[in-house]
Each structure stands twice: as C-alpha cells, then as structure tokens.
Amino acid sequence: MSFASKNYSFVRNKLLNKEEIAFLDVREEDPHAQEHPLFAAGLPLSRIEIDAYGKLPRKDIPIVTLDDGEGYAELAAKKFLELGYTDVSIYQGGVTAWKAAGGEVFKDVNVPSKSFGELVESKRHTPSLSAQEVKKLIDEKADVVVIDVRRFDEYHTMSIPTGINVPGAELVLRIPDLVPNPKTKIIVNCAGRTRSIIGTQSLINAGIPNEVNALRNGTIGWTLAGQVLDKGQSRKFKEVSNEITQTAAERARSVADRANVKRANFADLAQWQTQADRTTYFFDPRTPEEYEAGHLPGFRSVPGGQLVQETEMVIPVRGARIVLADPSGVRANMPASWLAQMAWEVYVLDDIKASDLTAQGPWKAPMPNLPSVMTVDPKTLSSWLQADSNTLVVDFSTHANYVKGHIPGSWYALRSKLEDALLTLPQVDRYVLTSTPPELAAFIAKEFTSLSKAEVCVLSGGNKAWTDAGLEIEQGATHLASPPIDRYKRPYEGTSVDPAAMQAYLDWEFGLVEQLGKDGTHHFWVL
C-alpha cells in the first residue's frame, strides 16, 4: 500500500498558521526522545489502537506519521486508515529529511512544555534559590515551607527534606491553608526546572503575599550539591475552607483573564461535543480522586500540573481547542492561563454545580472493537504452565510494568520489534499473549500468528485478571525478547542517577530558549 507524503513546508505552514495537525512520531519513546521536531508528538506504532480514539477524536484530522526510515511511518499510516481516519500521510524521509530541510530537532520528552518553562524564566526572571541556600534555611529552622509540585509517586520516591506534596494545579488553592503566615518563605521544587518555574510563577502571578522562590534545578540540583534526599515521604495537602476556595478562585480567574483565557458555558459544551470539523479536548484538571467521585460526562481526568508539563502526551493535535472544567474554578483557570501562553485555544467551563458531576469512576479510553481471538482464562493458563514446557507467555506491557510484576516465566516483548523478538523467544507449541492494558494483546494476536507456526491465544483480562485470581507473579527484568526502548529514561528519575547525566540534562534545558528561536513555530508568549 502506498501513501501520500508530506514535506517540511506542509508541516511548518500548518504550525505557523495555527491549523490543526497531528504530526505523530510513531517510534518508541526512547528513539523519539533522542531527536524529534518540536511538535512531533509521540504516539508509538505499538499502541495505536489503544491510544488513537482518545487522543485523535476527529477522524478527518490531517495526520502525518514520522519515523527515521525504519518503516514504522507506513505501518502506522495503514493502521490509522484501518481505524477509520481519512486524511493520513507519511513524512517523506523521516527525521533525517526534516533536518536536511533546515528543521530544528529537540532531545528528551515534553519538550514544548520544558522549552516554554525556560522561556518563562528568561522573560520573568522567576526568583530561585540554590540547593545550598535552601538547605541552610532548613537547617537553621527558618520560617520556610518546601512545596513539591510533582506527581505524588515522584515525590514519594525522593523528595527535599521537610517537603510537602502539592501538585502544580493545586498550588493557588492549597497554599493559603498550608502557609497562612504571609511572612513565611515558600520554596517550590520539582525534579529539574520546568514545574518549579511554572509553580513559582503561578503563585507570583496569582498575587500570593509570601516571598516565593523556585529551588534552582530541583532534586537534580540538590543531588549535585552533595545533599541527601528523603525517600518514602507522604506529606500532602488537606481540604480547604469555602472562604479560602473563594479567594483562590478570584485570584485564579484574574490570572486567566490577563492571559486571555476564553469562557465557555454548557451550550458551548453541547455544540463542541458533537462538532465534526474541529478537534476539542475536554479535561478535568482536579485530583484523580475528586474526578472519580464525580465528573462531567465526556471529560478526561488529567491533573492540571501534568497537563501543562506533558501537554503533547494528551493533546497531540496542535491547533486543537481545549476545555477545562473544575467546579472551584482554580484548578481550571491556573493551567488554562499557561496553556493560553503556550498558544492553545483554551476555554474554562463556568458555573459548574455539584449536580452536574453525574459521571463516576476512572476515565476509560475509547477503543475500536476487539478482534476475534482465541482466549484462555488465568486458571487454565496456570495449569498449562505447570503441566508442560510447551506453553510460553509473552507480555506486551510497558517494560516498567513488566519489571514491576509479571507472570512467572513470561517474556517481555515490544510489538514494534515483534519479528526480532520471535528470533529470541524460545520455540514452543503454544504462545499466550498478555498485556496491561489487556486489550493490547488482542490487537497484537493476528500479527503474532502471521509470524509464528505455533498456536497463539490471549489471556482473558490480561495481567490484572491473573493477579485478581490470586496467582503468583515475579518481578524484575527476567526475560527480555526486546530492548526496553518503550520509555526514555529521564535523567532525573530514580535514586541512583549519574551526576554527569544530571548536569548534561540541566545544560540541555538552559539551551532550549535558543532552540525555540531557531524553530520559530511555537507562538509562545509570556504574561
């Protein structure tokens, strides 16, 4: 099958004109993170059926698939057509051709957000303190509060001593309760730079009376200063009073108005949810717990701080419309103020009442119908594995999930490297495919069957069904049939990172503003 191809000028003109385009890097995350165009969002070939409908709601959106000559762009384009998308092209010549045409390429992940954060600091001179200065304040028991704006799991892994976890979008709402004295100094930290810059500037923009500083270079800077991080902490914010909520709402609304955030009502919502010629994303930026207790139908849970930090991961259509909904207004207006400065068309839905929050439970990604496959239940599979050695389980979960826990004896494999994986996997009479989420294995089964002469079936309910049945799991990278390139190892993750890698990461961040200037397609501005 041959596909239409698009070139540098087509993609660049779409970006410059703020027209909708899904420019998708369909490689795995690690090669994507080595170098890619600024707005080439990562959507790996391996997960297209799982991610496409949730991330690309409009079937006639212009899709341009990108690789670097591996052939993934063509395979991805074929899958998009099979899923009902109608305007699908490949980027001719891949990343190499983008560079040859004069296009700028960027390293790492979440680059639009990180480069925007650096631009904010360069324009606003966001105040910061060094790791040594912050440690001195803590050691002297000064009137200072350290606020960690990352996800709770990141904070729990490693944190600044005394730090309290308040994810970014919660700051303006929670700080008046956590720091009631306006003379108390507030230190905002993340792992590196972006979220602490955005968090600090959020409090300043909102008019919080305290002195606020970012911890310069976050936990990386702390570690490079030879200082020790805490592990396993669980200090979090509490619920706040109606009075505090009202004041925070006024502050957040003022910031959003200054950033030219647009307002929406339920009539707009009804129109946009059925609009065929425009991509609209509907997000609930509150905590996942609040979302699951009750939310507006059709809205996806994406906590506001992470939405600003990882925008392209949930909004791969550049030029799309974004609608945020939070009954208090605070968690919608503050992220919206940043998204507006990142040149998104962003609206906040007003006048939400508790009675409007009629949907409950976690968000479920829309998916195509599952293919018809042969399945096996967990107990039968367990008996097969105990009875003979001619059954092998192949796990297509992320490498991180596989390491965390998998069926004993199962092998990790990547869908995008399936042919190579089959050369490594032990040859058996029967393969059982499993995954998290469980639907992924079902989509892979046909491809696997076409490459193998063995019987192929799928574990019904995937890994969750196995653990729910009380069956044993093992941990660690025990059997790898594919290289673990589905996730780029961030230089600030974990508790044992090479200092040289951390310093290189900081040096890279410092250079992002210059790269933005060279790229010229971003339309970013700073309040």
Does some domain include residue 369? no
In angstroms, the CA 93 to CA 7 distance is: 9
Select from 396, 417, 314 the least CA-distant residue to 71: 417
How do residues 176-201 score in pLDDT, each as one tens digit? 999 999 999 999 999 999 999 999 99
Return the pLDDT at 506.
81
Domain finish residue from 90, 112, 134: 112
Does some domain include residue 423? yes
Does some domain include residue 498? no
Does some domain include residue 492? no
> Taken in order 125, 188, 112, 72, is the CA torsion positive or negative?
positive
How do residues 22-58 score in pLDDT, each as one tens digit? 999 999 999 999 999 999 999 999 999 999 999 999 9
In angstroms, the CA 186 to CA 184 distance is: 6
Domain with residue 140: its CATH number is: 3.40.250.10
**Tally of CA atoms within 13 A in the half-sphere of 276 that contains its CB:** 2
Q: Do 269 and 226 have their domain in common?
A: no
Does some domain include residue 481? no
In angstroms, the CA 115 to CA 132 distance is: 26
- H or E element, residue 455: strand 455-459
Mean pLDDT, range 237-244, rounded to an integer: 95
Query: How many folded domains does the chain comprise?
Result: 4
Q: Do 394 and 312 have their domain in common?
A: no
Return the pLDDT at 495.
57
Does some domain include residue 47? yes
Tokens 């093992």 correspond to 474
Inter-helix orientation angle 48-55/439-451, to 10°: 140
Domain finish residue from 64, 82, 112: 112
Work out whether strand 128-129 and strand 317-318 pair parallel, antiparallel, or are unpaired: unpaired
Does some domain include residue 484? no
How do residues 263-301 score in pLDDT, each as one tens digit? 999 999 999 999 999 999 999 999 999 999 999 999 999
Return the pLDDT at 66.
98
- Within the chain, what is the greatest distance between any pair of CA atoms? 72
Q: Which residues contact 420 (CB under 8 A, 6 or more apart)?
A: 481, 482
Q: Do 226 and 267 have their domain in common?
A: no
Q: Do 390 and 426 have their domain in common?
A: yes
Mean pLDDT, range 145-164, rounded to an integer: 96
- H or E element, residue 376: strand 375-376
Residue 526 has pLDDT above 90, yes or no: yes
Q: Do 295 and 348 have their domain in common?
A: yes
Q: Do 178 and 76 have their domain in common?
A: no
Q: Do 27 and 80 have their domain in common?
A: yes
Q: Do 141 and 201 have their domain in common?
A: yes
Residue 223: which domain range? 122-236
Return the pLDDT at 45.
97
CA torsion, ordered 408, 413, 419, 423, to nearest 10 deg: -40
Q: Do 291 and 219 have their domain in common?
A: no
In angstroms, the CA 287 to CA 44 distance is: 27
Inter-helix orientation angle 111-124/499-510, to 10°: 70
Return the pLDDT at 497.
63
340-361 in b/e form (b: 16+ CB < 10 A) is: bbbbbbbbbbeebeeebbeeee
Q: Do 102 and 179 have their domain in common?
A: no
Tokens 């993340």 correspond to 190
Both tokens assigned to 429:
């009479």
Does some domain include residue 283? yes
Q: Do 286 and 306 have their domain in common?
A: yes
Q: Is 411 left (phi over 0), alpha (psi -120 to 50) or beta?
A: beta
**What letter represents residue 45's amino acid?**
L
423 within 8 A of 406, measured Cβ to Cβ = no
- H or E element, residue 393: strand 391-395
Report the mean per-residue pLDDT for the chain: 96
- CA 297 distance to own-chain centroid: 22
Domain finish residue from 190, 205, 236: 236
Q: Do 446 and 396 have their domain in common?
A: yes
Residue 449 has pLDDT above 90, yes or no: yes
